[in-house]
Amino acid sequence: SMLTGLYPPTSGAIMINGKNLQTDLSRVRMELGVCPQQDVLFANLTVREHLLLFASIKAPGWTQKELQQQVN
């Protein structure tokens, strides 16, 4: 969860491809993929909701309109 930016490091710094996770989170996220190991939410979500969820995680700066356009 720290590597995806969901939680800040408790000490030190996380560097990915020369970028600091805390100061360059949006640039780091463009270079990462996430493969969840647990299906905590998934049983309750539709396919569309899954796509919107992961799109909002991958592109946190997108507006709702942009998210909808990408999923459509």
Q: What's the pLDDT tens digit per position in 5-49?
A: 778 888 999 998 999 988 998 888 888 877 767 766 777 888 899
Residue 68 CA, distance from chain mean position: 17
Contacts of 60 (CB under 8 A, 6+ apart): 26, 29
Say what the pTM is: 0.48
Say if residue 2 is in the same domain as residue 28. yes
The residue range of the domain holding 21 is 1-33
Residue 66's SS3 state is helix
Residue 17 CA, distance from chain mean position: 17
Say if residue 27 is in the same domain as residue 41. no
Q: In this predicted structure, what is the pLDDT of residue 39?
A: 65
Burial class of residue 28 (count of CB atoms within 10 Å of its CB; 0-12, 13-18, 19+): buried
- Structurally, the chain folds into a number of domains equal to 2
What values do phi and psi take at 52, rounded to 5? -65, -40
